[in-house]
């Protein structure tokens, strides 16, 4: 193996926190790092990546492939690898966040195959290089309109029409943030939105979780495995979470629930050193010294385009039928765009694989059939 990922020059690495102490620096990643790893093309592969922007627009007319993949996170790019290797000539419409959510984190320590961890953007650059190596065409552009009423299915982005006999929707979800400049600046430097992913970095530390729903409480309870103390901050006078979760949080000796408390600022230059808080009932302000902040105020699934076309659940996530299917035959779903339970790169990648295999089998069965859409049985 000459193209060993571990030997590639990745984005500059910040030192990670040692569990014993020191600043917590786990995500200095910037989207610019995406694609920084050298892309090794197979000798006979055509470099089809359109990269940022959409040069196909200049050519005019629809751009056709057997499979359209919407999204380029772990789900979309894994689907592209499998679809390309099955000769399905996938076109990946990568969206405005090529690489997906892992582009805003750095140390990914739970993705199998990387015993020393890997930077999120470096991991996604490797996914992309692998998808391109087998001929996936990747265009870094947001789809702004779709038509799944007949085959080939159609999607438009900046005026260009893309067509595919099958579609894999892998548009993911976006974590909701408080919207503070200091929160953005210190993201990955003590500010996180994923306890499963980053909790380990806070062993022996004092941290805060913002939010009042079940997810926030789950995160807070999970984080007690690592942190010495977890401040649970909620701006209202009562938690939104279920009674059972609230009881567990209030009873936990390492969790201090602080109601009527909003975060005004995350303190620290290069890493989180504390929070400026305000009592929402009295207006009183105060500062607390802390090592980390987990924002757990929710996720927004990127499903606006599909709400009138595919089934969505009460939280706005797409509903899958029969593993990766949707209510429209030939339209498949993978990753966080429907999964609000696991929300991990490995599960999203696994679903991308499954969706591509399902698309390939479905195309095989439907090759040569008239282009009609059959609504699949609800499963
Ligand atoms: C801060 C943070 C740290 C994390 N750390 C870890 C970790 O250490 N380990 C781990 O396993 N998981 C981690 N995760 C979770 C992991 O990133 C997600 O579970 C995973 O990225 C989901 O992959 P996905 O492909 O389903 O969607 P996403 O990664 O969300 O990708 C969605 C893609 O869809 C595209 N898109 C959106 N709208 C459109 C549109 N209209 N047209 C075209 N494309 C569109 C976007 O540009 C993007 O490319 C972390 C998440 C966050 C937020």
Q: How confident is the model at residue 366 (pLDDT cuts 50, 70, 90)?
A: confident
Q: Is 353 a catalytic residue?
A: no
Q: Which of 71, 114, 201, 353 to mutate to test the pocket of ligand 1 (most atoms within 8 A of CB)?
A: 71
For residues 352 and 110, what is the distance between their CA atoms, to the nearest angstrom?
Answer: 18
Is residue 198 part of the annotated active site? The answer reads yes
Q: Is 249 helix (H, G, I), strand (E, B) or coil?
A: helix
Among 52, 75, 79, 101, which residue has the most ligand 1 atoms within 8 Å of its CB, making it the best to mutate? 101
The DSSP secondary structure of 254-276, one letter per residue, reads TEEEE-SEEEEEEE-SSS--EEE
β-pair type (145-147, 153-157): antiparallel
- pTM here? 0.80
CA of 76 to the centre of ligand 1 (A): 10
Q: Is 261 in the pocket of ligand 1 (CB under 6 A)?
A: no
Q: How far is CA 170 from CA 10, 35, 134, 302, in A?
A: 26, 20, 19, 9
Q: In the structure, what pLDDT confidence band is assigned to residue 59 with cuts at 50, 70 and 90?
A: low
Reported as type and span, the H/E element at residue 51 is strand 51-52
Query: What's the pLDDT score for residue 223?
Result: 97
Whether 197 is a known active-site residue: answer: yes
Q: Domains along the chain? A: 5-174+300-366 (3.50.50.60), 177-295 (3.50.50.60)
Residue 191: which residues within 8 A CB-CB, separation 6 or more? Answer: 183, 266, 272, 292, 293, 295
pLDDT for 368: 56
pLDDT category at 369 given cuts 50, 70, 90 is low
Question: Which residue, chain included where needed, has tokens 């993911």?
Answer: 172
Average pLDDT over the chain, rounded to whole? 84
- Read off the pLDDT of residues 217-234 as tens digits, 9 standing for 90 and up: 999 999 999 999 999 999
* Neighbouring-strand partners of residue 104: none
pLDDT confidence tier of residue 348, bands split at 50, 70 and 90? very high
Q: Are 99 and 73 in contact (CB under 8 A)?
A: yes
Mean pLDDT of 317-337: 97
In the 8-state DSSP scheme, what is residue 199? Answer: G
- Alpha-carbon Rg of the chain, whole angstroms? 22
């Amino acid at each position: 193996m000459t193209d060993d990922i571990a030997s590639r020059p990745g984005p500059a690495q910040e030192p990670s926190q040692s569990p014993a102490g020191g600043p917590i620096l786990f995500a200095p990643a910037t989207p610019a790092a995406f694609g920084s790893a050298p892309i090794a093309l197979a000798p006979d592969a055509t470099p089809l990546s359109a990269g940022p922007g959409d040069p196909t627009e200049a050519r005019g007319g629809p751009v056709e492939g057997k499979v359209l993949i919407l999204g380029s996170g772990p789900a979309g790019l894994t689907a592209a690898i499998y679809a390309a290797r099955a000769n399905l000539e996938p076109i990946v419409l990568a969206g405005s966040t090529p690489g997906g959510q892992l582009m805003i984190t750095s140390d990914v320590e739970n993705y199998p195959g990387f015993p020393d961890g890997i930077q999120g953007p470096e991991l996604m650059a490797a996914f992309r290089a692998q998808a391109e190596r087998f001929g996936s065409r990747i265009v870094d552009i947001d789809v702004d309109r779709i038509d799944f009423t007949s085959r080939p299915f159609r999607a438009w982005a900046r005026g260009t029409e893309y067509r595919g006999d099958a579609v894999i929707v892998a548009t993911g979800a976006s974590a909701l943030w408080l919207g503070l400049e200091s929160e953005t600046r210190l993201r990955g430097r003590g500010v996180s939105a994923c306890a499963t992913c980053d909790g380990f970095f806070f062993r022996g530390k004092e941290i805060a979780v913002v939010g009042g729903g079940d997810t926030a409480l789950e995160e807070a309870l999970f984080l007690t495995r690592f942190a010495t103390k977890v401040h649970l901050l909620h701006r209202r006078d009562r938690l939104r979470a279920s009674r059972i979760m609230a009881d567990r949080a209030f009873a936990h000796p390492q969790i201090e629930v602080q109601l009527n408390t909003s975060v005004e600022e995350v303190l620290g230059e290069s890493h989180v050193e504390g929070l400026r808080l305000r009592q929402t009932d009295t207006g009183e302000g105060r500062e607390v010294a802390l090592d980390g902040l987990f924002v757990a105020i929710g996720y927004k699934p990127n499903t606006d385009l599909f709400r009138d076309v595919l089934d969505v659940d009460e939280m706005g996530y797409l509903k899958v039928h029969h593993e990766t299917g949707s209510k429209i035959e030939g339209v498949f779903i993978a990753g966080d765009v429907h999964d609000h339970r696991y929300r991990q790169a490995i599960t999203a990648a696994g679903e991308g694989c499954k969706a591509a295999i399902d698309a390939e089998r479905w195309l095989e069965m439907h090759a040569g059939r008239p282009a009609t859409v059959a609504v699949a049985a609800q499963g």
